[in-house]
Amino acid sequence: MGKLLKVHSLTRFFTDIIIILDSKKIHPAYKISFWGKIRLGIKFYSNNRKIGTGTSHRVVLAMTLKILETPPEVKGDLIECGTWKGATAANLSIVCKMVGRKLKVFDSFEGLPEGKPDDRQANMESSFGQDFSNVTVQKNSQKASDLNAIK
Ligand SMILES: C[S@@+](CC[C@H](N)C(=O)[O-])C[C@H]1O[C@@H](n2cnc3c(N)ncnc32)[C@H](O)[C@@H]1O
């Protein structure tokens, strides 16, 4: 059963890459090929496994799509508010490098506020951010990504 779930999650991951990143709106200036998208998705998968993440891979793919759809003439950098261990920062820094933008990451490292007793999602997530620091984020980013793009 464990193996079957692994195969299922891997298959879902790859179909998500293809479905989400197969957009005609990706700006041609970024010259990203089909295999380039697959390589990007594999890197995300590996970073998420190595570092651990509180953000679903679909959300990261959706953010990636928005970044790739934004024309290069639109000036600006990206910020991540709440980076936790830095997995999404590692992933987005690769995309930022591709499009020539900087990624700035912030975290209080105090976790999320406690939710109301009947708020299951908030209570599951309240420990995110505790016991980590910017040192953890830097270490994780160094292992997994392109630090040039992270500030
Ligand atoms: C769900 S986690 C983020 C998950 C992360 N993006 C990832 O890729 O794994 C939420 C993070 O937001 C941080 N946080 C919560 N409130 C904050 C605030 N007011 N200012 C800065 N960081 C905050 C927490 O410390 C925690 O690390």
Q: 89 C-alpha to center of ligand 1: Å?
A: 12
Question: Quick one: which atom of ligand 1 is closest to the CA of 54?
Answer: 9
Give the per-residue pLDDT at 151: 58
d(CA 128, CA 109): 8
Domain that holds residue 96: 2-149
Number of residues that make up the chain:
151
Domain count, the chain: 1
What does each C-alpha distance from 115 to 52, 109, 111 come to in angstroms? 22, 17, 12
Give the residue, out of 50, 84, 92, with the most ligand 1 atoms within 8 A of its beta carbon, to mutate for a pocket test. 84
pLDDT digits (tens, 9 = 90+) for 72-92: 999 999 999 999 899 999 999
Cα separation, 73 vs 113, whole angstroms: 38
Structure tokens at 97: 């490098």
pLDDT of residue 26: 94
Cα separation, 123 vs 117, whole angstroms: 8
